Amino acid sequence: MLCLVAWIIFGILGIFSVRYRSLAKESFDCVFRRLLFKKCESNFNEKMKSSIIGNLMKFSPRTARGVYKNYEIFSWIFVILFVVSMVWGAVGAYNLIVYDNCAGPNADPDQCIFTPEEEIVSCGDPLCESGHCEKCGDECDCGDCSG
């Protein structure tokens, strides 16, 4: 099922390079056939498997043998990790947009390194005139603007 991850990655790379478009098409065909519980006709899985095993053989033949025997298990593990990381990334992006931190509504602001800095409106700012701040309202409590 590694063809699912390959389809997404090669699809993105195919936007920028012609080299990956044929691999993206092959991986899409493989994903589509796997969703219908059929075998891949394009041998895409075999190409990826031989490429991965060939590269592993350079470093450790023993590890390559283990990956070869358990290739389907490893590919499912990578698919699950890919999906989980995409979901966590989407939740973090949502929290950053909605709550201005990547940990959620009741989170400690120091938890997230992407927390935007609060903008301080000062009395010299054109947004703050005679005790009325356009950003804060009449109370002007968001900065040192006091009237």
Per-residue tens of pLDDT for the chain, all 147 residues: 677 788 888 889 989 998 889 888 888 888 888 788 887 776 777 888 898 899 999 999 999 999 999 988 998 898 899 999 999 999 988 888 887 777 777 877 677 776 566 555 555 555 555 555 655 555 554 455 444
Q: Are residues 33 and 90 in the same domain?
A: yes
Question: Looking at residue 67, what is its pLDDT?
Answer: 92
Q: Are residues 135 and 102 in the same domain?
A: no
The tally of domains found in the chain comes to 2
Q: Are residues 8 and 49 in the same domain?
A: yes
Q: Which DSSP helix (H) or strand (E) runs through 10?
A: helix 2-16
Separation in Å, CA 71 to CA 5, 23, 24, 64, 135: 14, 19, 20, 10, 58
* pTM beyond cutoff 0.75: no
Q: Are residues 79 and 17 in the same domain?
A: yes
